[in-house]
Structure 1
Amino acid sequence: MLYAHEVVLNELAQGDAPLADGVEWFERLSEGDQREVLRTLVSPPAVMLTKWRFGMAALPVHELTKSFRLLVALFGVADTRRRELYCAGGCAHAWHNLPGGRGAAS
Structure 2
Amino acid sequence: MTTNHLVILNELAQELKALETGIAWFSSLNPAEQGQVLRELSNYCIQAHPSQEETAESIRRAGLRPTHTPAMLIIRPGLPRQLNKIIHLPQAERIKSFRLLIALLGIADMRRRLQDCINGCNHPWHHL
Instruction: Please report how far the alpha carbon of residue 92 of structure 1 lies from its aligned counterpart in structure 2 after TM superposition.
Output: 2.1
The sequence identity of aligned pairs, in percent, is 44
Whose helix proportion is higher, 1 or 2?
2
CA distance in 2, matches of 1:90, 1:65: 33
CA distance in 1, matches of 2:82, 2:102: 15
Q: Is the 8 A contact 2:42 2:87 kept in 1?
A: no
**Equivalent position of 1:70 in the other structure:** 100
**Equivalent position of 1:23 in the other structure:** 23
RMSD: 1.5
User: What's the TM-score once normalised by structure 1's chain length?
Assistant: 0.83
User: What's the TM-score once normalised by structure 2's chain length?
Assistant: 0.70
- Post-superposition Cα deviations, 1:2-25, rounded to whole Å, max 9, x if no partner, equal 721110010011110010100000
Structure 2 portions without partners, runs of 5+: 51-78
Aligned pairs, number: 97
User: Post-superposition, which runs of at least 4 consecutive aligned residues in structure 1 deviate over 6 A?
Assistant: none
Change (3 A) 1:92 1:54: closer
